[in-house]
């Protein structure tokens, strides 16, 4: 019934595992240049950790620390023990890299397999990985997990909907991994092709990589005719497989034998009580090659109080509601893109994609939202469109407290992203100030 | 010095291994619907194989057999034992699929690791996989092999030269996997960027997927400032890792403990003496899930007589000099002219004739399709023609997985052929090298 007995370990057993993991991890960290310096300055060692709460004796590790340590300042094993690396960003901005030993790759695959099993996938099921491969951890991460679980894995990669559909049919696929924006796009493709999703016989979609609302999930389930399960991961913590929904779809179990998760006040860093929303901070407990202590994910979420119907004892994270750093400030107002998504996805006229553009006009920062609307809406008479436009502007203003420029565009006209969708384009530094 | 002692086994030992492998493979094959029927009709069983030459008792397996058996008529193990499949072609035209058990994936990785070791790569070296992932076996095949060997593997994927360069530098890459046309293109990119390839410190490029000349290899070595090693593989035989050059660069050792290779007359199927060029026929000797007996690769090559300076005893294949069919390989994708014809003939705007032209641009193989359109279409307004052009490019790309240049021409402007229409003009060898 469970992939691993540890999924239903008692809270006391989990605390003991976490303490042991914390000690081992602190000991391992002493081999890296970065942590040797930092822990040395602090005068702490493995013996100082006698409960999971003792993690608070440690300082945070930040994205900037990783950037400074790039490419290899965090390695705790001899160079020749590493077999993989992933890089978290593009050509601009300072990148960060995560390195994996063979043990790390195997342990990661195991966690992903555990997640896929929790969703309902089993050995012998057919699984199509519809996400890009390469440096994006969602590709190889899910792929290795699927093979580990024993699924017949179809490495379809991203894009080419026609071919995806052929593979889904030819191999009677049971489950897929797909990023939310492409899932919505693929749903539209099925409709255009006159395919009834129910005829595909698929049952599960793992969706992650892009934060999304509950409403978007329900919409994906509707257009694809399956159950969609939210997943959480980030390259710094391996990639996918950190936290995953179970069949109850009531929050994502974070695997507490492998990660020690905390929620802190993003301003002060102080721990927050269970149930309160704050910044997620993660510590690896089983990583050999490049363990990280109290890594500030910059993702905002909370622990969901209470027990899950599935019987797993690992605490559940709520879906990510924003990030401490993707906050947009326009005219003195703090805006999270997620707020805009919530407004748009609640409007039935809206199609799948939208784009937030930031620009300058008259020396002021401005926000413009391009919104795809359904074909039948787009084809409607001018007064209908004007009415929709007015309502949309009003609702957005009510939510974010500034009045955005809104442009209604034809469905499909905003390029679908491969990998993580870029929902915000910031032109403020490019245009003349 | 060698990755596996079997690389220097005596010819007698290899013959014994092949006989044993052949018996085991015939026994395994009896579990598949296709071979049970075929071997049953023939009345042969494992006991009939007492030397590698006894393989001649078996009939050939062809690409058409695989198409008829698609998707799963060749499976020899229970469905739930398979963890991977790769598919060899596009959406129309009958595709073929190859299925792998966990053992098959591991054995394949081992063969690829052996190849990479033969080239000179070692555990601890940094290896960047610059080929696409997904269904293309060159991606995951080389990736698993590199990890198996213990290289620090950078899953860069295809394209984005700027990022490739950054990764090569940041991680001090020792070796890469790159398809020949992209290798030449990347050489040009380096020159444009003013990068001296010698400064990169890289040493090895594995090049395969596209047949190429010795001259192209030397040119790749020159523009990249490293040694380039030819490799041979095909999806039906797993993918890469079937035969690989060693440091001597004098032909590709085919791993005779894993494959039984024959060269036959493509017309009669009769075995040819060593040294004569003919069609390569391959039998898997260690594959559990989907063994193939005497598979006609349609690749033309020969065994290179004599012994290799490296000491390996496995016979060497010469580079592929052509194919028995009309398959075109562009950017690592297999394209049959028939696929292009099917797409075009399904579009009512298309008149009678078309022409496929292969050429080189920026050192990369390119494909251009000239298409005659009906007079009334050709006379239409510019937006109509532009729309048709766009649709045609998209459909062709969906089918053949590369984006061709498309030129719409007036009906009757492509000279009609007498006798068998020549639909393909290959200008690649005619243009200045
Ligand atoms: Zn649960
Ligand atoms: Zn040799």
Q: What is the pLDDT of residues A172-186, one digit of tens each?
A: 999 999 988 889 889
Closest residue, chain B, to A90 (C-alpha): B163
Pairing verdict, β A152-154 and A97-101: unpaired
| pLDDT value for A92 | 40
Give dist(CA B132, CA B142) in Å, integer.
11
Laid out side by side, the sheet with A82-87 consists of A97-101, A82-87, B152-154, B126-129, B175-177, B204-207, B227-234, B239-245, B252-254, B316-317, B303-304
| Contact partners, residue A285, CB within 8 Å, separation at least 6 | A17, A18, A21, A22, A24, A25, A257, A258, A259, A260
Are A318 and A340 in a shared domain?
A: no
User: CA-CA distances (angstroms) from residue A169 to A128, B74, B81, B136?
Assistant: 11, 19, 20, 19
The shortest C-alpha distance from B416 to chain A (Å) reads 33
Domain with A167, as residue range(s), is 1-325
Are B303 and B185 in a shared domain?
A: yes
φ, ψ for residue A226 (rounded to 5)? Answer: -155, 180
Give dist(CA A18, CA A262) in Å, integer.
13
Closest residue to B83, CB basis, from A133, A135, A153: A153
∠ CA A20-A25-A30 to the nearest 5 degrees?
A: 135
Query: Which of chain B's residues have a Cβ under 8 Å away from the Cβ of A86?
Result: 155
Give dist(CA B397, CA A160) in Å, integer.
9
Q: Are B332 and B138 in contact (CB under 8 A)?
A: yes
Give dist(CA A156, CA A160) in Å, integer.
9
- The alpha-helical segments, DSSP class H, found in B152-213 are 161-170, 180-192
B171: its two tokens: 């991680």
Confidence label for A382 from pLDDT (cuts 50, 70 and 90):
confident
Q: What is the mean pLDDT of residues A160-168?
A: 93
pTM of this structure = 0.84
Q: What is the mean pLDDT of residues A12-18?
A: 98
Other CB atoms within 10 A of residue A294 CB: 19
Other CB atoms within 10 A of residue B204 CB: 20
Per the DSSP assignment, residues forming a β-bridge with A390 are none
A328: its two tokens: 């947009």
**pLDDT above 90 for A10:** yes
Residue B26 forms contact with A (CB below 8 Å): no
pLDDT digits (tens, 9 = 90+) for A210-224: 778 898 899 999 999
Are B70 and B141 in a shared domain?
A: yes
Half-sphere exposure of A7 (CA within 13 A, CB side): 22
B356: its two tokens: 């496929």
| CA B2, B7, B12, B18 torsion-angle sign | positive
| CA A57, A63, A64, A68 torsion-angle sign | positive
- Tell me the helix, strand and coil percentages in chain B, rounded to 5: 35, 25, 40
How high does pLDDT run on average in chain B? 91
Supply the DSSP string of B52-95, one letter for each residue. Answer: GGGGGGSPPB-HHHHHHHTTTTT--S-GGGEEEEEE-S-SSS--
Pick the range with the lowest mean pLDDT from A53-67, A153-167, A374-388, A409-423. Answer: A409-423
| pLDDT value for A3 | 97
How high does pLDDT run on average in chain A? 91
Per the DSSP assignment, residues forming a β-bridge with A202 are none
Are B196 and B145 in a shared domain?
A: yes
Query: Which of B79, B84, B108 to mutate against chain A (most A CBs within 10 Å)?
Result: B84
Q: What is the mean pLDDT of residues A152-162?
A: 93
Confidence label for A94 from pLDDT (cuts 50, 70 and 90):
low
- The alpha-helical segments, DSSP class H, found in B228-336 are none
Q: Between residues B323 and A363, which one has the greater pLDDT?
A: B323
The shortest C-alpha distance from A52 to chain B (Å) reads 33
Give dist(CA B119, CA B205) in Å, integer.
9
Confidence label for B215 from pLDDT (cuts 50, 70 and 90):
confident
Give dist(CA B150, CA A322) in Å, integer.
39
Q: Which of A113, A78, A88 is nearest to B150 (CA)?
A: A78
| pLDDT value for A400 | 83
Give dist(CA A227, CA A364) in Å, integer.
44
φ, ψ for residue A177 (rounded to 5)? Answer: -110, 130
Q: What is the mean pLDDT of residues A308-324?
A: 93
Q: Between residues A326 and A308, which one has the greater pLDDT?
A: A308
For the CA atoms of A18, A19, A24, A28, the dihedral, rounded to the nearest 10 degrees, stands at 80
Are B83 and B168 in a shared domain?
A: yes
- Domain end marker among A325, A348, A378: A325
Are A184 and A308 in a shared domain?
A: yes
The shortest C-alpha distance from A423 to chain B (Å) reads 22
Are B299 and B379 in a shared domain?
A: no
Could you give the percent of chain A with pLDDT greater than 90? Answer: 73
Residue A418 forms contact with B (CB below 8 Å): no
Give dist(CA B426, CA B394) in Å, integer.
23
**pLDDT above 60 for A322:** yes
**pLDDT above 70 for B267:** yes
Give dist(CA B31, CA B78) in Å, integer.
10
Residue B154 forms contact with A (CB below 8 Å): yes
Task: Say yes or no for a CB contact (<8 Å) between A124 and B156.
Answer: no
Task: Look at chain B and report how many structural domains it folds into.
Answer: 2
Other CB atoms within 10 A of residue A6 CB: 18
Are A335 and A316 in a shared domain?
A: no
Task: Say yes or no for a CB contact (<8 Å) between A133 and B155.
Answer: yes
Task: Say yes or no for a CB contact (<8 Å) between B152 and A79.
Answer: yes
Are B360 and B266 in a shared domain?
A: no
Confidence label for A91 from pLDDT (cuts 50, 70 and 90):
very low
| pLDDT value for B353 | 81
Closest-lying ligand to the alpha carbon of A254?
A: 1
| pLDDT value for B55 | 97
pLDDT digits (tens, 9 = 90+) for B170-200: 999 999 999 988 898 899 999 999 999 999 9
Are A58 and A166 in a shared domain?
A: yes
- Domain end marker among A269, A294, A325: A325
| Contact partners, residue A5, CB within 8 Å, separation at least 6 | none
**pLDDT above 80 for B344:** yes
Q: Is A414 helix (H, G, I), strand (E, B) or coil?
A: coil
Give dist(CA B385, CA B122) in Å, integer.
55
Q: Are B164 and B261 in contact (CB under 8 A)?
A: no
Cβ burial A49-60 (10 Å sphere, 16+ → b, else e) = beebebbeebee
Residue B420 forms contact with A (CB below 8 Å): no
Residue A89 forms contact with B (CB below 8 Å): no
User: CA-CA distances (angstroms) from residue A213 to A252, B52, B255?
Assistant: 14, 62, 53
| pLDDT value for A171 | 96
B431: its two tokens: 């243009």
Residue B428 forms contact with A (CB below 8 Å): no
CATH number at residue A228: 3.40.50.12780
Pick the range with the lowest mean pLDDT from B37-41, B132-136, B211-215, B221-225. Answer: B211-215
Are B363 and B303 in a shared domain?
A: no
Are A293 and A333 in a shared domain?
A: no
CATH number at residue A410: 3.30.300.30
The beta-strand segments (E) located in B235-327 are 239-245, 252-254, 259-264, 278-284, 295-301, 303-304, 316-317, 322-323
pLDDT digits (tens, 9 = 90+) for A52-86: 999 999 999 998 899 888 888 999 999 999 999 99
- Domain end marker among A266, A293, A325: A325
| pLDDT value for A422 | 64
């Amino acid at each position: 019934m469970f992939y691993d007995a540890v999924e239903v370990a008692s809270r006391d057993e989990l605390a003991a595992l976490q303490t042991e993991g914390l000690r081992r991890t602190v000991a391992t960290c002493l081999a890296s240049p970065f942590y040797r310096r930092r822990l040395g300055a602090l005068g702490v060692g493995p013996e100082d950790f006698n409960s999971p709460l003792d993690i608070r004796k440690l300082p945070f590790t930040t994205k900037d620390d990783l950037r400074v340590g790039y490419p290899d300042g965090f390695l705790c094993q001899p160079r020749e023990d590493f077999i993989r690396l992933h890089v978290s960003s593009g050509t601009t901005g300072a990148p960060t890299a995560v390195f994996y030993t063979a043990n790390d790759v195997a342990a990661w695959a195991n966690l992903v397999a555990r997640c896929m099993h929790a969703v309902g996938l089993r050995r012998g099921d057919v699984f199509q990985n519809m996400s890009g491969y390469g440096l994006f951890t969602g590709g190889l991460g899910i792929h290795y997990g699927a093979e580990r679980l024993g699924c017949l894995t179809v490495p379809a990669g991203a894009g080419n909907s026609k071919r995806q559909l052929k593979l889904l049919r030819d191999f009677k696929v049971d489950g897929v991994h797909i990023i939310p924006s492409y899932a919505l796009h693929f749903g539209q493709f099925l409709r255009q092709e006159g395919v009834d999703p129910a005829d595909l016989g698929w049952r599960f979609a793992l969706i992650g990589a892009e934060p999304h609302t509950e409403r978007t999930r329900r919409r994906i389930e509707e257009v694809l005719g399956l159950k969609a399960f939210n997943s959480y991961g980030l390259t710094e913590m391996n990639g996918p497989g950190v936290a995953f929904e179970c069949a109850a779809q009531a929050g994502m179990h974070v695997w507490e034998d492998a990660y020690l998760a905390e929620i802190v006040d993003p301003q002060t860093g102080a721990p927050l009580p269970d149930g309160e929303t704050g910044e997620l901070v993660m510590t690896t407990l089983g990583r050999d090659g490049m363990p990280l202590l109290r890594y500030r994910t910059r993702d905002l979420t909370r622990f969901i109080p209470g027990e899950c119907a599935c019987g797993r004892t690992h605490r559940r994270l709520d879906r990510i509601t924003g990030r401490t750093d993707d906050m947009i400030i326009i005219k003195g107002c703090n805006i999270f893109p997620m707020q805009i998504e919530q407004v748009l996805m609640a409007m039935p006229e809206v199609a799948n994609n939208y784009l937030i553009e930031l620009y300058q006009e008259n020396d002021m920062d401005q926000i413009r939202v391009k919104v795809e609307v359904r074909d039948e809406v787009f084809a409607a008479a001018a007064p209908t469109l004007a009415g929709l436009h007015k309502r949309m502007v009003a609702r957005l203003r009510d939510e974010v407290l500034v009045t955005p420029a809104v442009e209604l565009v034809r469905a499909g006209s905003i390029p679908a992203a491969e990998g993580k969708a870029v929902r915000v384009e910031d032109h403020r530094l490019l245009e003349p100030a």
